[in-house]
Structure 1
Amino acid sequence: MTKSEHPAVRTFLFTDIEGSTRRWEADAEAMRAALAAHDAVLRAAVAARGGEVFKHTGDGVCAAFGSPNDAVYAAVAAQRALELPVRMGIATGEAEERDSDYFGPVLNRAARVMAAGHGGQILLDGASAGLVTNIGLIALGTKRLRDIAAQVEVFQVHADGLADEFPPLKTLDAVVGNLRRPATRLLGRDDDLAGLLTSIREHRLVTLTGVGGVGKTRLAVEVAARSAPQFPDGVWLIEFAAVTDLAAVPEAVAAVLGIVQQPGMTPADSVATALVGRSRLLVFDNCEHVLDAAAVLTESILGRSSSVRILATSREGLGVPDERIWPVTPLGCDGIASTAFDLFIERAHAVAPGLPLRDNSDAVVDICRRLDGIPLALELAASRMQSMTVIELRDRLDDRFRLLVRSGRGNTRHHALRHAVRWSFDLLDENERRTLAVCSVFAGGFDLTAADAVTGIGDEVGTLNLLDALVRKSLVVADRSSSRTRYSMLETIRQYGEEHLEASGEAADARKAHARHFAGLESEVLARWDGPRQRETYAWYADELANLRVAFNWAAAQLDFDTAAAIAVYTAFLGGWIEQHEPARWAESLIDAAKASRHPRLGQLYVAAAECYRTGRLTPAVEYADASAALITDDRYSRSPFGIEPTALGGTYITVGAADRWLELFRDTDTTELNTFNQGSLVMALLTSGRLEEAKVACARLLSCIETTDNPGARAYGLLAYGYVRRIDDAAVAYDTLRRGLSIAIDSGNRMTEAYLLVNLSSMVGTHGDAKDALDFLASAIENFADAGTYSHMVSPLGVLASALDRIGVHDGAAVIIGFAATAFARATFPEVAATETHLRQTLGDDEYARLRRLGENMANSAIAQYALEQIDRARTLT
């Protein structure tokens, strides 16, 4: 090897024997012989493709090649010949040759890519994958690797003679999606698991059917968790149990996935459109009571996307074409070797360790038979081992299920479950029964404070004691994975409790208490948000969205406008910062009634409703904004949280190219008293209205606000505005300011501000920072807005991307994107967009520019987002 004068682009292959230490310890002589054969195979394969082995690392080698194709073909040839389990990693990049060795970041990347794999697996980084030809690759997603700051795209080589299925990569990535692993292991479903894992790869819709309590959800969650590596965009559990309105099914899915309804589309079509190009597994749980709506939504999703899979649970199939029905049957319960027997023993020992149950195995077998092997019934029965013997339990079951035994076993499993639940319910004392019934009004779980409020006990310690009793009896589940315990019920239990609540005559009072509790949290939640615990508040919002929805709908239906308006206003305010806009639609639904009654919160409802501009509904948004602006100085109407009207309404006005109307919002406001949000908005309104010098003066006051506030969202927003103005006269200061704001926005969970900071940073890398950062910033911003459905904002990163593509010579891609992005909003916020239009027309010629521009103009929102991300990948190979 000779020393090169300059770094050269090379492709590196790193290998390592998996489990080599154990092999040396088990049989050193055999390992020594195997290693010699291993070295010979690798050297021959590398040499055959013109590569060179330049280093040995323990039980592996490091080789360099002139092209990624040569490296991959050498790796495939070696894997086919090797007898030891060898993992291989390939990466491409610049490296310097020195003293018979190579140096550069690409070598560390190759090592980390290799370390993420398993024996027999060949992995490539994104740079290598983008350059290989005629080689089969499996995309494994973007991963975080140890000691590498930026995420790395990882691909697996697919070739004849090589295995395709391996365990999940050994990376640092957090789990994508919202799926949580259950606390207990799954028993007796090995055949189901194996079959379902195959079915979910071969079929786009698999529905688990069976009676309530048979374990459909538990099995679906296990299948989803084991399938997660196949879905780079995550596995998502959507629980329909709390959805009572068929029309709310798409909204429930949208809420989990962060999607908003698009203009001119049904909610189902909006969800389906947003999922185009995503590789996701959706678990639709408890579909039986919303069967038609779930079927319509499923057809809409599968009709548009070939990369989404749906795993549903229901008591019957959805009736969608090409659906794969998978019946889930009760556990076998024929003797001590049965799964039902094992399940009962394991769960009973969990509450009563050391209990000699096998000494009374006949009684246990009898219990399992009488409960028909239904997992939920078995778990409820096993929980009683804390307070009675297995003989007593069997005898009580005999009494309770006498009717069931007499009627035979043919179609009585659902009745067996219902009797099991009723039996467990009847064993509670009166206070426990009432607590369980009243807490059935919650959707998606609850905390101790909420339970105390709804039960009306007025003593959290007393309420805690009752909940603890219900947890120990397996009727309530306690999740202690976060700082505050969250309680929930299995849906079968909740439904039974709800029936009891209705029969008791307390249902209306419980639902009123539920709605007013969440309305009454307004001051507490906003106070917590206005400080260092902001991210915690957003997490609370996500946890409670289902409860907030139920509370709002009940209050609105009861014409309790004070309660409904309070919930709509403060949740819409919070949702705006994290691109979750469902509560804005709640506010919009109240406006006519609030207007007729001159409700004091009418102005706040107008502010929330004006957020519909984000989805392209510009005409009503401007009407709502104008109506709100007219009420700002009217003392009969209360102001929005933190007096944020100028900031909240500014997005509507600037989107329609009315920056002057945005500036007018400040005319009756003493600018010396503006909070950080509105001070930042004033600065941006001045600049976009062409008042640069005034904007610079306002920046001085803004900087003071930024340094004194302890609200991280306000600080990040203020830094966005300050950096936005300072980029005109001091790019270095602006860039550092925006980077600081980005760090704060990410840490505090302010998704909307984060996206705009990314866009602004991307527009500046030509003068400050690493040019490659621009593409990463833009990709993150586009994905952020596309995932949330905030397409009116997406034109800004698209416009900046078009300018970047134009600069590096990707004129065709830039022209297509500019056709979609060159709106009044984009031109007002980023002047380079107009300059790019002019340059592209000159470069491409009028006819070709017009043709490409029309392509972009006619693209759907999701399509242009996908196209833009593809152009970013293309640009990365040119920079």
Structure 2
Amino acid sequence: MRRPFRSRTPPDAPLPAPGGLPAEPNRFVGRDAELSEVVRLLGESRLVTVVGVGGVGKTRLALRAADQVQKRYCDGAWLAELAALRDPELLDHALAEALGLTDHSGRPPRRVLAEHLATRRALLVLDGFEQLIDACGALVAELLRRAPGLRILAVGRRPLRVAGETTFTLAPMAERDAVTLFTDRATAGDQGFRAEGERLTAVRELCDRLDRIPLALELAAGRLHALSVEQVLDRLGDRFRVLTEGRRDAPARHRTLRTAIGWSHELCTPEERLLWARLSVFAGPFDLDAAEYVCGGPELPADDVFDVLAELISQSLVIREETPAGTRYRLLETVRAYGAEWLDALAETDRLRGLHRDWYLGLAAWYELDWFGPRQAEVAAGADSALPNLRAALELCLENPEDAHLGRHLAGTLWFYWVGCGRLTEGRLWLGRALALDSPSDGARLKALWVLGYVAVLQGDSAAAVGALHECREEAARSGNGPARAYAVHRLGCLALLSDEMDRAERLLRSALDAYRELGELNSNVLMGQVELALALVFQGDLDAAVELCAEVREICEDSGERWTRAYALYVLAYAAWTREEHARARTLITESVAIHHGFRDRVGLVLSVELLALVTASEGDPAEAAVLQGAATRLWRSVGPPLFGSAYFGAPRVRCERYATELLGAEEYRAYEEEGRGLSADATARRALAHRPPAPAVPRRPPSGGRGRARGARKPADSPTTRGGESAG
């Protein structure tokens, strides 16, 4: 006779509280928002699956959530740990064991489980199911169908893909929570540990470099008995060797960081492992096209990359993100480092790095072409997203002198990003490195030279600019490279403009523009040359000619969709409108200029526009707001270079505004408002500039000594300050 199914608990024993959740081994830290969301989802869905990369804290969060809601379930909350299982046939037995069930009746375990749960209201936590995902999915579907009072909280690298499933992806910890967790665990081993001062800075860096993954942080904290925080940081080049100790009572798959990630690796298919290794060549976010080009090959056709990538995403090994540049993918650094080791083992690292470099060389060239057109904002966003990978490509180019020409080509091709998107300092770094390598003169070297000169001009480094631009012009003349010579002459004209040499600037800029026309060259650089010529004319008093030039630029920009150069043309048109006392028109023009420059993060254009807007604001009768904008511009100049480029002409709006606002407010009040402006960030400055509405005029609308530009050929704008030597510019 078969023995009937019964509980393990003897009938005369005191009944324990329903449930089988383990006690927490230590303090639960952070995750307040995530915890609340999982609890909410459990109230709405009968199956919630928490997914995430290995070591991110999925199990701990799930158990905490189960503990918070277990009172809702009169038959308890139970944990079934499945990670050690490999045989699908043992799955039903493991669940029965977790529920404290024994049955010697010979009935199938699935039937026992279903009958036991059919009339019960319970929560079942399934942890570590991914290696048995098909079997587990089928079991979950059947149990949910046959037990209406059952809710399941599953924990794994990928969703179960069962009807009615709600997925919650657990990301790495926020920085504040990560620091708190690390400090808490470090203090447990050393009561004297304090995260303060320089040590706090080191702890923050350590948390970031470990991707703020709780397992990695706990393992790192466990090393502090032998190493300082700084020493752990120094050794993170081989994080899998450093982080080798964990709790002895932790699951085997969590005892080392290598094992935690390796656990995920073992569960991947050969194609998934191969793609994981190849994706490790990416230094930051990448798109599908890049992955297909770089990672495709005979063993993994490019057409199959997406399907395999999707599986890695479902396993939380690859993160999918929506960015301003579109959909992007990335690996957490810990996952990437593990993949890189496998790529080395496959002896594919050099080949993949070469493919990666080639892709980003092509992408930069494509972006340069697209910069002159309606996709400028998309190009800027794309370059921002690709920057870590562009850096990696540049590094590879410059590692080998034989590839130096590729490094110069890439650094020069990215001129639009260095100049147009606020990356002057980094651009100069890469250009300098590329040009420092010995190699014969070629088109790539010439381009890098004039781009370096351009960057140096905008940074106010006249000596470096002159050296690079003269070298470029001379080598271009010897080699017959017309475009390079035109660009060098153009940038020499720009340097003359910022150096208050208006006659020379006009001559050089006209020469460059003539050369561009002969060459059939038309792009953002060419249009910028026309704007710079217009500035030279404005500063010499020829407003009509300047307005005509910029009106033409504006029309071309509208036809082509170009916005970056358009913003500079608007600056000139606004300057001319203010000079003609057309203040409302000047405000409309310069406000649009501010918006465009801020969108591209072009600090040079932004600070010039803000200063002109301050003058317009003062002219409209709001000296207090004008003083605030002046102070904000002062702060912006710190991130640009020498204030006003050291130019009396470019400094004229500031001098006029300060003089007028001070007369109306008094020196002390003006300084107070200006100090307020110095506290504004670039974002806050742009918001304030774009939101301001001029008040009704309560003071004279025309600043002292304002008015129309001087006669053509004048050496100094009206009311411009004296030069640095104390002598007039005339």
Distance 1:478 1:743, change over 3 A: closer
Match status 1:389 vs 2:136: yes
Q: 8 Å contact 2:282–2:356 — kept in the other structure?
A: yes
Alignment of 1:49-448 (within 5 A): 191-193=28-30, 215=56, 359=95, 362=98, 381-384=128-131, 386-389=133-136, 415-448=255-288
Task: State the alpha-carbon separation in 1 of the partners of residues 93 and 643 from structure 2.
Answer: 64
Alignment of 1:666-745 (within 5 A): 666-671=509-514, 673=517, 675-688=526-539, 690=540, 692-693=541-542, 696-709=544-557, 710-732=561-583, 733-745=585-597
SS at match of 2:437: helix
Q: Which residue does 2:613 correspond to in 1?
A: 761
Task: State the alpha-carbon separation in 2 of the partners of residues 761 and 466 from structure 1.
Answer: 53
Q: Which residue does 1:591 correspond to in 2?
A: 435
Q: Which residue does 2:295 correspond to in 1?
A: 455
Alignment of 1:575-590 (within 5 A): 575-581=418-424, 582-590=426-434
SS at match of 2:509: coil
Query: C-alpha displacement at 1:464, in angstroms?
Result: 1.1
2:470 pairs with one of 626, 631, 653: 626
Query: C-alpha displacement at 1:681, in angstroms?
Result: 0.8
Query: C-alpha displacement at 1:591, in angstroms?
Result: 1.7
How many correspondences in the alignment? Answer: 484
Q: 8 Å contact 1:731–1:767 — kept in the other structure?
A: no
Q: 8 Å contact 1:785–1:791 — kept in the other structure?
A: yes
Q: TM-score by structure 1 length?
A: 0.47
Alignment of 1:537-616 (within 5 A): 537-559=379-401, 560-581=403-424, 582-593=426-437, 596-610=439-453, 611-615=455-459
Query: C-alpha displacement at 1:338, in angstroms?
Result: 11
SS at match of 1:441: coil
Q: 8 Å contact 2:447–2:484 — kept in the other structure?
A: yes
Q: TM-score by structure 2 length?
A: 0.55
Query: C-alpha displacement at 1:703, in angstroms?
Result: 1.1
Cα RMSD of the aligned pairs, angstroms, is 5.1
Q: 8 Å contact 1:213–1:492 — kept in the other structure?
A: no
The amino acid of 1:589's aligned partner reads R
Task: State the alpha-carbon separation in 1 of the partners of residues 259 and 564 from structure 2.
Answer: 52
Match status 1:500 vs 2:342: yes
Task: State the alpha-carbon separation in 1 of the partners of residues 493 and 724 from structure 2.
Answer: 26
Q: 8 Å contact 1:476–1:490 — kept in the other structure?
A: yes
Query: C-alpha displacement at 1:534, in angstroms?
Result: 1.4
Task: State the alpha-carbon separation in 1 of the partners of residues 247 and 612 from structure 2.
Answer: 72
Query: C-alpha displacement at 1:648, in angstroms?
Result: 5.1
Task: State the alpha-carbon separation in 2 of the partners of residues 501 and 751 from structure 1.
Answer: 41
Q: 8 Å contact 1:475–1:489 — kept in the other structure?
A: yes
Q: 8 Å contact 2:469–2:491 — kept in the other structure?
A: no
2:627 pairs with one of 775, 778, 795: 775
SS at match of 2:416: helix
Distance 1:504 1:804, change over 3 A: farther
Query: C-alpha displacement at 1:526, in angstroms?
Result: 2.1
Q: 8 Å contact 1:438–1:455 — kept in the other structure?
A: yes
Task: State the alpha-carbon separation in 2 of the partners of residues 344 and 655 from structure 1.
Answer: 72
Distance 1:434 1:684, change over 3 A: same
Q: 8 Å contact 1:655–1:792 — kept in the other structure?
A: no
Task: State the alpha-carbon separation in 2 of the partners of residues 548 and 362 from structure 1.
Answer: 51
Q: 8 Å contact 2:598–2:606 — kept in the other structure?
A: yes
Task: State the alpha-carbon separation in 2 of the partners of residues 423 and 718 from structure 1.
Answer: 58
The amino acid of 1:362's aligned partner reads A
Query: C-alpha displacement at 1:679, in angstroms?
Result: 0.9
Distance 1:634 1:755, change over 3 A: farther
Distance 1:662 1:626, change over 3 A: farther
Task: State the alpha-carbon separation in 2 of the partners of residues 405 and 790 from structure 1.
Answer: 49
Offset from partner CA, 1:391-441 (integer Å, 9 cap, x none): 9999xxxxxxxxx99995599887543224223223333332221111101
The amino acid of 2:261's aligned partner reads V
Q: Which residue does 2:368 correspond to in 1?
A: 526
Query: C-alpha displacement at 1:609, in angstroms?
Result: 2.0
Larger fraction in strand: 1
Query: C-alpha displacement at 1:765, in angstroms?
Result: 3.3
Greater C-alpha radius of gyration: 2
Task: State the alpha-carbon separation in 2 of the partners of residues 345 and 831 from structure 1.
Answer: 81
Distance 1:654 1:440, change over 3 A: same
SS at match of 1:765: helix
Q: 8 Å contact 1:800–1:830 — kept in the other structure?
A: no
Query: C-alpha displacement at 1:815, in angstroms?
Result: 9.9
SS at match of 2:617: coil
Distance 1:466 1:411, change over 3 A: closer
Task: State the alpha-carbon separation in 2 of the partners of residues 631 and 342 from structure 1.
Answer: 77
Distance 1:649 1:406, change over 3 A: closer
Distance 1:829 1:213, change over 3 A: farther
Task: State the alpha-carbon separation in 1 of the partners of residues 127 and 488 from structure 2.
Answer: 53
The amino acid of 2:30's aligned partner reads L
Overall identity of the aligned pairs, in %: 20
Query: C-alpha displacement at 1:759, in angstroms?
Result: 1.6
Query: C-alpha displacement at 1:525, in angstroms?
Result: 0.9
SS at match of 1:485: strand
Higher relative contact order (CA 8 A, sep 6+): 2
Task: State the alpha-carbon separation in 2 of the partners of residues 463 and 636 from structure 1.
Answer: 46
Unaligned 5+ segments in structure 1 are: 1-186, 196-211, 219-328, 348-354, 365-377, 395-403, 819-826, 840-879
Alignment of 1:820-831 (within 5 A): none
Q: 8 Å contact 2:371–2:416 — kept in the other structure?
A: no
Q: 8 Å contact 1:518–1:551 — kept in the other structure?
A: yes
SS at match of 2:721: helix
2:318 pairs with one of 472, 476, 483: 476
Offset from partner CA, 1:321-364 (integer Å, 9 cap, x none): xxxxxxxx98898998599x9999999xxxxxxx9999457399
Task: State the alpha-carbon separation in 2 of the partners of residues 576 and 446 from structure 1.
Answer: 23
Q: 8 Å contact 1:806–1:814 — kept in the other structure?
A: yes
Query: C-alpha displacement at 1:741, in angstroms?
Result: 3.3
Q: 8 Å contact 1:538–1:574 — kept in the other structure?
A: yes
Q: Which residue does 1:852 correspond to in 2?
A: none
Query: C-alpha displacement at 1:622, in angstroms?
Result: 2.9
